[in-house]
Amino acid sequence: MEFAWTPEHRAFRQRLRDVLAANLPDNWPVVSNGYDNGSDASVAFSRKFCPILAEEGLLIPHWPKENGGGGLDAFHHWILGEEMWGVGEPRAYQYMSINWVGPAIIKFGTPEQQAEHLPRICGGTISYCQGFSEPGAGSDLAALRTRAEPTGDGRYIVNGQKIWTSAASFADACILLARTGAERHAGISMFIVPMDLPGITVRVIPGMQGERAMHEVFFDDVEVGPECLLGTENGGWKVATEVLANERIGVPRYALTWRGFNKALEHLRLDGRLENAAIRARAARCEAALKAARLAALGVINARIHHRPADVSVNVARYAAVWADRQVVEFLGDFAGDLLFYDVDAVVTAAYKRATSIGIGAGAAEVQLNLVSRNLLQMPRGNA
């Protein structure tokens, strides 16, 4: 597959680079610790930077104009993602609002919900977290047990626990999946819950992903009004499926890995390690994997632009990104372990840490492989 960017795409990329050059502090890799989206510094910066992007018309290029976007094609969104992830994602978690929370509100929200949320998303002034996973419900998300008990007058009382929730300690609202009925998939509803409601407790889970990358969120008798229900009662699975499809292929995370990989190569070139042909061959393999991940993702975007229904190529693209990250992780571990061990370069270390988790973070890689084996390779189900 061969891509040729149009002059408009190239000009858009250049504008993004200009805005980044004008706004990122010179010591941004240090300020952001390579990539630590939950740190106080990164969150504070994103709160300044997203409204600037919005002001420049660069925050949501691909949404329809009537929803506050720029009305441009989805490649613009991808270019935006590549440029942002390629410098360590200075929007912090704002990309969640743009990539999947906003689109879900556009598709399933009431006019009141749209009026409340969309202008704030388009202005870059609101951020969300995603309360899906639970201690007993990850890949098997429909096993979730957090309960939103209808009170009979349109309100709900929420009780339960979420885990691994990115951004929870600084998000304004949570898109929450909770059980409202008995049936496994058809007994789940989606809510948009303000994070400052009484009864919500957030605890940071310390980990190598960064200062405040993951959290546990507890809901104890949290009273939620009817205005929080997104979609219909017990119709949350449909909303979640849409959200997850946009999450899985909505973010060019390979750009972050590529940046760390390139930085590592600079170090290896300087100290002569790249003169070793075996190391160069492994580096070439990483480069090829990253390029394949990029092409697979661009193929999916191309299909979207041409209104082709989502198919197994989404799972292939997601796995290609996981594969590329794993190649780079192995390369760094084998040939640049000292850079990681002594934390010589925050950009390299951050890319390594992030890449190690990609196979689980936005949905387990093995589950994607199951779908590829069934839907592309037509392999039979079972243990054989």
Q: Summarize as ranges the residues that interact with ligand FAD (CB under 6 A).
A: 129-130, 132-133, 138-139, 164-166, 209, 214, 357, 360-361, 363-364, 366-367, 370
CB nearer ligand FAD, residue 95 or residue 156: 95
| Calpha distance 1→303 (Å, rounded) | 13
Find the shortest distance in angstroms from Cβ 8 to ligand FAD. Answer: 33
Beta bridge partners of 200: 219
Written as one string, the DSSP assignment of 283-308 is HHHHHHHHHHHHHHHHHHHHHHHTTP
Find the shortest distance in angstroms from Cβ 99 to ligand FAD. Answer: 13
Residues 71/245, Cβ–Cβ less than 8 Å: no
CB nearer ligand FAD, residue 97 or residue 130: 130
CB nearer ligand FAD, residue 344 or residue 367: 367
Find the shortest distance in angstroms from Cβ 104 to ligand FAD. Answer: 14
CB nearer ligand FAD, residue 149 or residue 216: 216
CB nearer ligand FAD, residue 16 or residue 175: 175
Residues 102/117, Cβ–Cβ less than 8 Å: yes
Of the candidates 275, 264, 274, the residue with the CA atom closest to the CA atom of residue 328: 264
CB nearer ligand FAD, residue 151 or residue 241: 241
Find the shortest distance in angstroms from Cβ 152 to ligand FAD. Answer: 29
Find the shortest distance in angstroms from Cβ 329 to ligand FAD. Answer: 14
Sequence-distant (≥ 6) Cβ neighbours of residue 71 within 8 angstroms? 63, 64, 65
Q: What is the DSSP letter of 140?
A: S
Which amino acid appears at position 243 of this protein? V
Within a 13 Å sphere around the CA of 330, how many CA atoms are in the beta-carbon half? 12
| Calpha distance 331→279 (Å, rounded) | 8
Which tokens sit at 254? 């390979």
Instruction: Characterize 114-126 residue by residue with b for buried, 16 or more Cβ atoms within 10 angstroms of its Cβ, and e for exposed.
Output: bebbbebbbebeb
Around Cβ 180, how many Cβ atoms within 10 Å? 22
| Calpha distance 276→271 (Å, rounded) | 11
Find the shortest distance in angstroms from Cβ 240 to ligand FAD. Answer: 10
CB nearer ligand FAD, residue 129 or residue 265: 129
CB nearer ligand FAD, residue 114 or residue 370: 370
Which tokens sit at 97? 């609002």
Find the shortest distance in angstroms from Cβ 124 to ligand FAD. Answer: 19
CB nearer ligand FAD, residue 54 or residue 355: 355
- Taking each helix axis from N to C terminus, what angle separates 346-361 and 365-375, rounded to the nearest 10 degrees? 50
CB nearer ligand FAD, residue 298 or residue 371: 371
Find the shortest distance in angstroms from Cβ 349 to ligand FAD. Answer: 16
Around Cβ 298, how many Cβ atoms within 10 Å? 17
Find the shortest distance in angstroms from Cβ 30 to ligand FAD. Answer: 22
Query: Which of helix, strand or coil describes residue 258?
Result: helix
Find the shortest distance in angstroms from Cβ 24 to ligand FAD. Answer: 24
